[in-house]
Every structure is written in structure tokens, then in C-alpha cells.
Amino acid sequence: MRILHTESSCGWGGQEIRILTEAAGMLARGHQVTILACPNSNIYPAALERGIPAVALPIEKKRVGSLLAMRGWLAQHKHEFDVINTHSSTDAWLAAVAGATLSGMPPTVRTRHVSTDINKSATTRWLYLNATRHIVTTGERLRRTLNRDNGFPLNRMTSIPTGVDLERFTPPLSRSAARAKLGLADKPTLGILATLRNWKGHGYLFDAWPALTERFPDWQLLVVGDGPQRQNLERRVAEAGWTNVVFAGNRDDVPDWLAAMDLFTLPSYGNEGVPQGIMQAMACGLPVVSTPVGAIAEAVLDGQTGTLVPPQDAAALTEALAALMGDATQRQRYAAAGLAHARATFGLERMLDRMEAVFGAAIAR
């Protein structure tokens, strides 16, 4: 197959990582893949660094210039692709409107990565049900929500969580050795891996940290990721005088940092499918404390692979984390169950198989 991914987002997070992971996997299977992205985006240079063909096009905004750029490029190159996979609102609209004015366009598959509401206007319904051949969601709850709230037929949607490379993300032989490799203090470690955005819930984790560090002074907090909230979070650490909080920034060696953790948390309160950080953490044998937003509950099975707490509830988060920080046996139980769930559900090859099937069906219709 010849696959074109379009992405108008200039940011960096799980959505962009999924596109890159999927593109690399499809290339390895012998498909042709190209990513169409903004020249000032993070995904464009990241694609080139990974050897994924990428084209820079000014498609970051819903404006006439972006539409003309998209239409002009598609008019010239549409015959080179069998299917288009759109990912964000802007590129989906640009591709749809441009495609409506061109003949011989390949079918479009829209991937919905987040749980934000979709408006019920006639134009939006046209975008999803007329201009799009099939919808992929990154969690079953997202699929069910679109059916319930927007009336999108279930047979027009498929839930395909992001795949994790289970050969790369594995439990470490020694968490102490992993910490030594990274130059971290050899202490029990609570960790979070996520873009530093408001809705990822770092603020609530920091609200919980004073009580946690008082009850468990031997523990440290490891923050992996970067983003617009980093300065605010670093300021909170400095003002509180915490010496047991480490900011690692964005990392390519994510498995090494997960290997250094004993407990993982993501107190997100919005805009989620099934976050990759949670799936990666479970594949690395970590128990998880999170919230039931988006489709997180499809990964974190409450009371089996981890604990779910209400979003934006620092007190509940504190108690859930404290319960596991003080109970190594329970952490091990959750970790073992989470690892088994990850291996059965989150494999990269499983995602690629299912995306191939969706693309193939869209092309055949």
C-alpha cells in the first residue's frame, strides 16, 4: 500500500509518536509511507531523522493559504497514494475540502487520538461520514462515545490502541542498576512520563508530593518529558525546596527511564485515548495509578493492573500513591498483571495488523 499521513499539529506528544511509530512499522512491512507536515513542526524533522519520507507544507491553520497549499500538493501527487490518513482537525478539514474539489482522490481514514468532544454541526458530520471512509479511535471508549453522542455508526469506526514495541519495552533485570546507569540516586522512584501540559495532571501530582514525601522520605519523583508547563513545575519545585524531584526532559531512551521507576502515575484529566506512557510503563513491569478519563480504563484495570482515582482530586491521588508506595507486594501484583495485559493487548504488530486491515478495507470500498 501507498500511505499518506497528514498532520497539522506543530507540537510533540503521543499523537506524533504514534504516527511515527506506525509509519516506521509500515515501511518495515514493505509499504510506501509519506508524512505531510508543517515545516516548523516537531514531527517533520523527527520523521526525517528516522528515515521516514516527509514533505513540509504550511498546513498548520484553517486558512485559505493552507487550503491552497494542500489542494495544490494533492492535485499533483494524489495518484501516488492509495489511502490518506488524517490526524488532527485542521489537516482533516484541509484534506477533505481540497479533496472535494479534485477527482480521483484516494479514500481518507481519520484517526481520532483524543477524547475531546466533537460538535454536532452538519459540516462536521459531513467531514466524518462523507469525506472520510473510516474512523479509527485509539480506544474503545472513544468509539462508543462518538456513537452515543454524535450518532456515528459503529461499523464506520474501529478502535486500535497505539502499539508498543514489546522487544524494546521490557522489565529491567535490576531497577537499581537502571538508576545507576542514568546517574540517579538509588532510591525508590515514583515516575511520570508525559508531555508537560496542564491536562496531564502534573500539577495534581505536585499537590500530592508534600504529603507523600513526608510519609515516604526515601522516595524520589522522576518527571520525564517536556512541554509548556515545565517552567511552572520547576518553579514549584524550587519554591518548595524539594531536592528529591528530578526533571529528565524529553528522552529517546525512554525504556531506560521507565526501568528506573518503581511506580508510575499519570493523573490526566482530559484529552486522552490510551496514553502511550501508560502502555509503555505496563510493558516495563510497572504498577500504575491514573484516572478513568478517555480510554485509560482499557489499560489500567482498576484493582488488577493498577488503581484509578477521580481526575483533579489530589487527595485521592495522594492516598492511592501512598497505598502502593508503602506496599511492595501489591506493587508486584499489579506489575505482573499489567505486564501480562500489555503483552496480550498492546503489541506493535497487533496495531500494524489492524491498521493494514482498515486501510485495505477503505481502499477496497
pLDDT digits (tens, 9 = 90+) for 110-151: 999 988 899 999 999 999 999 999 999 999 999 999 999 999
* Complete edge-to-edge strand list for the sheet that includes strand 54-56: 54-56, 32-37, 2-7, 83-86, 108-112, 134-137, 157-159
pLDDT of residue 272: 82
pLDDT of residue 343: 95
pLDDT of residue 55: 98
Backbone dihedral angles phi then psi of residue 310, each to the nearest 5 degrees:
-60, 145
The C-alpha cell that represents 353 in the structure block: 495488523
> Among 3.40.30.10, 3.40.50.720, 3.40.50.2000, 1.10.3720.10, what is the CATH number of 175-345?
3.40.50.2000
**Distance of alpha carbon 216 from alpha carbon 67, whole angstroms:** 55
Q: Is it the case that residue 271 has pLDDT exceeding 90?
A: no
3-class DSSP string for the chain: CEEEEEECCCCCCHHHHHHHHHHHHHHHCCCEEEEEECCCCCHHHHHHHCCCCEEECCCCCCCHHHHHHHHHHHHHHHHHCCEEEECCHHHHHHHHHHHHCCCCCCCEEEEECCCCCCCCCHHHHHHHHCCCCEEEECCHHHHHHHHHHHCCCHHHEEECCCCECCCCCCCCCCHHHHHHHHCCCCCCEEEEECCCCHHHCHHHHHHHHHHHHHHCCCCEEEEEECCCCHHHHHHHHHHHCCCCEEEEECCCCHHHHHHCCCEEEECCCCCCCCCHHHHHHHHCCCCEEECCCCCHHHCCCECCCEEECCCCCHHHHHHHHHHHHCCHHHHHHHHHHHHHHHHHHCEHHHHHHHHHHHHHHHHHC
pLDDT of residue 114: 87
The C-alpha cell that represents 232 in the structure block: 511552572
Average pLDDT of the segment spanning 21-31: 98
Burial class (CB in 10 A: 0-12, 13-18, 19+), 361: middle
pLDDT band at 54 (very low <50, low <70, confident <90, very high): very high
Average pLDDT of the segment spanning 145-159: 97
pLDDT of residue 23: 98
Second CATH level (architecture) for the domain 2-163+348-364: 3-Layer(aba) Sandwich (3.40)
Residue 140 in contact with residue 110, Cβ under 8 Å?
Answer: no
| 175-345 and 2-163+348-364 share a CATH fold | yes
pLDDT of residue 237: 98
The C-alpha cell that represents 50 in the structure block: 528516522
Burial class (CB in 10 A: 0-12, 13-18, 19+), 190: buried
Average of per-residue pLDDT values in the chain:
97
pLDDT band at 173 (very low <50, low <70, confident <90, very high): very high
Percent pLDDT > 90 in the chain is 96
Percent pLDDT > 70 in the chain is 100
pLDDT band at 365 (very low <50, low <70, confident <90, very high): confident
pLDDT digits (tens, 9 = 90+) for 175-196: 999 999 999 999 999 999 999 9
Average pLDDT of the segment spanning 306-329: 98
Q: Is it the case that residue 322 has pLDDT exceeding 90?
A: yes
pLDDT of residue 43: 98
| pTM for the model | 0.89
pLDDT of residue 82: 98
What are the extents of the domains in the chain?
2-163+348-364, 175-345
